[in-house]
Amino acid sequence: MDLRARRIVVTGGAGFLGSYVCEELRRREPAEVFVPRRREYDLVRREACRALVADARPDLVVHLAAVVGGIGANRENPGSYFFENLMMGVQLVEECRLAGVEKVVTVGTICSYPKLTPVPFREDELWNGYPEETNAPYGLAKKMLLVQGQAYRQQYGMNVVHLLPVNLYGPRDNFDPGSSHVIPALVKKCVEAQEAGAAELEVWGTGRASREFLYAEDAARGIALACERYDGAEPVNLGAGFEITIRDLAHTIARLCGFTGALRFDPEKPDGQPRRCLDTSRAERLFGFRAEVGFEEGLRRTIDWYRAERGRAPRT
């Protein structure tokens, strides 16, 4: 799909990943990249989905909008996370079908994979078990968009593709301790502990769980490449192809932040899924995506951005 002079809608385009996706798509010189805001288009409501498609008249819709959070937020909001994520996606794709939108790219989540998926996660393993319990409602809601896209492709010939990005990080991330993911949570803790001269800080879980992380700019480039180059029914992983334990991650972030105190792991807090690491060969084969930003370089950029933003925050 040649994106030049095309009309594009990016739901969630004002969010963390969405801001990078919009920048990447604008480099392709489309006619418009339209970012709906929830106050005008609450996509949980069917009529708002219909109005968005009618108003924007898109050739391409990239559906990033989601209600997301870390382990704590998922444990506290399983019902709303399931309902809102499911309704936003399913209704929007249906309205795109009814309006004859040429292509829809739905962006799912690594949380859709079964809890005990063999590492590295291959897309063919997606249905071989139930997701990890703390984020299963969210993961299953997003997984239904894969089912919908495949069904619509079969029945209506609709070009819907589904991408599965691993855990993302980078500047502009959510650093709210009530809903942030592990990297921004640890960066915030380490920066504040270093500035306060604290002797120790607490890290959730045993530290034995592993994760893979993809820099947000890399993820945006992968999504844009899929918009241009991929037209297929199979889901595609987007990742960096490595894993790191939470213990090693915490020590790495502490070192980069200059925090020299002790890290105290709290085994009473949940670890989440035991391991996460993707097989990224399908994305490279189908549309030429490979992560480029090194992990420590990405962490340094994230830490530097967070410190700069804190420095700009008004003092009370």
- 27: in domain: yes
- Predicted pLDDT of residue 314: 56
At a CB cut-off of 8 Å and minimum separation 6, what does 238 contact? 163, 164, 165, 166, 214, 219, 222, 223, 278, 280, 283, 289
- Predicted pLDDT of residue 316: 44
Instruction: Please report, for the domain that includes residue 30, its CATH number.
Output: 3.40.50.720
- Which residue is associated with the tokens 């989540």? 109
What range defines the domain where residue 105 resides?
7-167+213-242+277-292
Q: Position 254: which residue type?
A: A
Question: Which residue among 138, 169, 215, 306 is the active-site one?
Answer: 138
- 104: in domain: yes
Q: How far apart (Å, rounded) are the C-alpha atoms in residues 244 and 219?
A: 18
- Predicted pLDDT of residue 70: 74
- 202: in domain: no
Task: Using the predicted structure, report yes or no on whether residue 304 has a pLDDT greater than 60.
Answer: yes
Q: What's the total number of domains in the chain?
A: 1
Q: pLDDT (tens digit, 9 = 90+) per residue, 36-94?
A: 999 999 999 999 999 999 999 999 999 999 988 777 788 899 999 999 999 999 999 99
Q: pLDDT (tens digit, 9 = 90+) per residue, 164-199?
A: 999 999 999 999 887 788 999 999 999 999 999 999
- 184: in domain: no
Residue 99 has, within 13 A of its CA and on its CB side, a CA count of: 23
What is this structure's pTM? 0.93
Task: Return the closest-CA partner of residue 63 out of 135, 160, 152.
Answer: 160
Separation of CA 17 from chain center: 7
Residue 1 has, within 13 A of its CA and on its CB side, a CA count of: 28
The chain-wide mean pLDDT, for the chain, equals: 95
The residues with which 9 forms a beta bridge, in sequence order, are: 34, 61
- 12: in domain: yes
Q: Torsion angle of alpha carbons 125, 130, 135, 140, nearest 10°?
A: 80
20 carries an active-site annotation: no
